[in-house]
């Protein structure tokens, strides 16, 4: 038998600005009110559960807080020229130039700030937080940009 739990939306939200690139072109700077959907799959523990819902929510809330009300900078995006200044980040693409105070930026080791890549970022951090839980075999994260638009990432933990 397989077992799965999920927690979603409610307190698992963050608001952030970003820009993505498509075919080497940057779209306009904009923002979303994101919602997070978390799933953990695995065997039941001795107490007959995969994981405590509250624990999964707390981990997700803490991760959302890291991104909330920030500009999400995809540090490794080849279509963007990213420069670290003394007190700001400068992002240049074609004829656009943004200078954003460091305190307003969350630098992410991503090649793009798409919903799929953000889901991957959350998945990796969730896996780190759940390390050592031998019963959990996989985790999935959905990042909802708008109602009905969600990017997903699933990570198998059985080979870790």
| Distance of alpha carbon 113 from alpha carbon 21, whole angstroms | 8
DSSP codes of every residue in 18-70: E--EETTEEPPPEEEEEEEEEEEEE---TTS-SS-HHHHHHHHHHHHHHHTTE
| Residue 158 confidence (pLDDT) | 73
Domains of the chain: 3-72+108-156 (3.30.479.10)
| Residue 10 confidence (pLDDT) | 87
| Residue 95 confidence (pLDDT) | 86
Q: For residue 95, give every residue at least 6 positions away whose Cβ sits within 8 Å of its Cβ, in sequence order, or none.
A: none
| Residue 17 confidence (pLDDT) | 98
- Per-run averaged pLDDT (10 residues), the chain, 160 residues: 92 96 92 97 94 96 98 97 97 93 98 98 96 91 96 85
| Residue 9 confidence (pLDDT) | 80
| Residue 3 confidence (pLDDT) | 97
pTM: 0.94
């Amino acid at each position: 038998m397989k077992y799965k739990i999920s927690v979603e939306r409610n307190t698992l939200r963050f608001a952030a600005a970003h820009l993505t690139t498509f075919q080497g072109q940057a779209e306009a700077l904009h923002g979303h009110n994101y919602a997070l959907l978390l799933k953990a799959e695995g065997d039941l523990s001795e107490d007959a559960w995969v994981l405590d819902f509250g624990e999964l929510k707390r981990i997700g809330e803490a991760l959302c807080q890291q991104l909330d009300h920030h500009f999400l900078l995809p540090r490794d995006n080849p279509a963007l020229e990213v420069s670290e200044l003394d007190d700001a980040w400068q992002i240049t693409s074609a004829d656009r130039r943004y200078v954003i105070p460091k305190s307003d930026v969350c630098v992410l080791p991503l090649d793009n700030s798409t919903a799929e890549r953000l889901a991957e970022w959350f998945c990796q951090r969730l896996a780190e937080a759940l390390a050592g839980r031998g019963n959990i075999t996989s985790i999935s994260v959905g990042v909802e940009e708008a109602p009905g638009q969600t990017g997903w990432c699933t990570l198998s933990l059985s080979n870790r």
